[in-house]
Structure 1
């Protein structure tokens, strides 16, 4: 839909910008989300965005411009992302945005045990810590983070999910979601817990490099789940900056991204703009979640969603897809295998 969404607050928003934004129903939640949304992952140190004041300005500017959904997690800087977002939200009308955080994935580390904890005890503690960092009494969506790293999906269903459901009963969350990179575990947990999830977030699975989400999207939509399509820059691969050292993709995939970025820089075009526009052409997801830690990046993304690509950018995108991205690929299984191997050595 176009026009003014329920999150519009007269006197706060830039009404002209809000009217340019598209808003979509998030599955059975009934929430109307802006097609472009804010990802809090880039507020973590591993993205090297250390200007907190600029990040706060970017978040506030994006919300005033009509972006009404924010996603964060304890894992993003071990609370740093939640704290920065909490500061940014001070003074912003609560009506003006929807917000989600997560449980299950926490610390940076070298093994699965150091990074993940799906236990009931940790989940309960995490929810209250996140609300404190955000300065809120409740979030709109509470998500179980990267379920593929759990020892089994049964642990998620029997330990994590009941605590999240109890938090919902207590008014600490309105809806419940699940996130992950591999798509099959997302499908399987939804089948294991029918009707208990409201949203599903898949990241980097519909990009210039990988379109795997297409195979699972009909299932998610048939369940009336709100689909959140995240990390359309493939965790930095599809930007002029390029992949960070920590990126787990294989060399071939990194090479595809690097060649795209180098070509775009030569042509004085930002690959990130092309990447988010490309992903946003997919019909079905309610929103496309992207990190926006600076006002410049917010403007690039707003321009992509509101105005599309110009002729030069369209030609460059076509060239990149044909010459560098023809071989669709992903990094599924690489990270989990590395972490399990490290755990086995301990």
Structure 2
């Protein structure tokens, strides 16, 4: 597995990261045995970057991941978790909540040290509290050696870039903004990368948008975006391929050239891992890519902040 570096002097991490949300049963029930199997398979495949959060499965993901990592040498993985979001519409970026959350996460994960501690979905929390309490607390923790790096996550790229620049954080994770349909993260990632900020891309399938099944009912995308994605799926089917595989190929294979350090993909079983590695290593068919891009062209870069949809997520 190819490795890249977090920032200018950070640890080397795999370009494909294990997303831990699936381990919390967010999409379907996942047994501890399944969690153990996919984590071990990921490590065996050279994936060493793992991302999780207390919010995922309301602590179930961290608990399952901690059990799966039991006995694994700490030097074998780079662990990212989050603070600040604790429910569908619950944010708390206070110093007290941040310290408590870190202690609880470390206990669930079975570790003393978090490589990257991120403030979760920052655009929906109290901005003043984030700036005046959470981020200074993370700086204190970094100075004490309890965490390695400070990160922020979210969807709103203007907010992420502004906070990353003014507060000089180490990492940024954005979701649903670097995919076949929406590529706005690329410019942001390149600018932040030049200043030493490592950028991660999450949800390269657009939270189910770029799949043959289509997005869930709660998806916040506009109906015109859903329709274009459905047409892209039909064109892929006619060519004998699956849209989600093509979308993964694109996101994984073009990430580095667009300033993205690693792509975070949820995995709940080894077969998911095998498919993701295949997408990373199998060259994309130019004819297929042309057909898909043509279907998506009318809604290219039209996120739900541009074309509000009928669903909702992250406090909407």
Could you tell me the TM-score, scaled by structure 1's length?
0.82
> Does 2:243 match 1:271?
yes
1:237 deviates by 1.4
Of the three residues 87, 91, 95, the one matched with 1:116 is: 91
Distance 1:80 1:250, change over 3 A: same
SS at match of 2:303: coil
Of the three residues 126, 138, 145, the one matched with 2:113 is: 138
Cα separation, 2, equivalents of 1:198 and 1:122: 21
1:339 deviates by 8.1
Partner of 1:65: 45
Partner of 2:178: 206
SS at match of 1:296: helix
Cα separation, 2, equivalents of 1:131 and 1:179: 19
Cα separation, 1, equivalents of 2:30 and 2:238: 27
> Does 2:5 match 1:30?
no
Counterparts of 1:1-346 in structure 2, within 5 Å, are: 21-108=1-88, 112=89, 115-152=90-127, 154-193=128-167, 195=168, 197-265=169-237, 267-280=239-252, 281-282=254-255, 283=257, 284-309=259-284, 311=285, 314-328=286-300, 329-332=302-305
Cα separation, 2, equivalents of 1:146 and 1:172: 22
Distance 1:272 1:59, change over 3 A: farther
Partner of 1:4: none
SS at match of 1:133: helix
Q: Which runs of 5+ in 2 are unaligned?
A: none
Q: Do 1:29 and 1:226's aligned partners in 2 also have CA atoms closer than 8 Å?
A: no
1:338 deviates by 6.5
Cα separation, 2, equivalents of 1:48 and 1:340: 19
Cα separation, 1, equivalents of 2:51 and 2:14: 13
SS at match of 1:128: helix
Equivalent residues, number: 310
SS at match of 2:81: strand
Q: Do 1:232 and 1:290's aligned partners in 2 also have CA atoms closer than 8 Å?
A: yes
Could you tell me the TM-score, scaled by structure 2's length?
0.90
Q: Which runs of 5+ in 1 are unaligned?
A: 1-20
Cα separation, 1, equivalents of 2:232 and 2:312: 27
Q: Do 2:220 and 2:312's aligned partners in 1 also have CA atoms closer than 8 Å?
A: no
1:134 deviates by 0.6
Cα separation, 1, equivalents of 2:166 and 2:204: 28
1:137 deviates by 0.7
1:131 deviates by 0.7
SS at match of 2:181: coil
What are the superposed Cα offsets for residues 47-78 of structure 1, whole Å, 9 maximum, x if unpaired?
Answer: 12434422321121011101110001111111
- Alpha carbon RMSD of aligned pairs, Å? 2.3
SS at match of 1:28: coil
Cα separation, 2, equivalents of 1:239 and 1:339: 19
Cα separation, 1, equivalents of 2:283 and 2:270: 18
Distance 1:338 1:307, change over 3 A: closer
1:340 deviates by 10
1:212 deviates by 0.7
1:180 deviates by 1.1
1:268 deviates by 4.7
SS at match of 2:180: coil
1:27 deviates by 1.2
Q: Do 1:37 and 1:67's aligned partners in 2 also have CA atoms closer than 8 Å?
A: yes
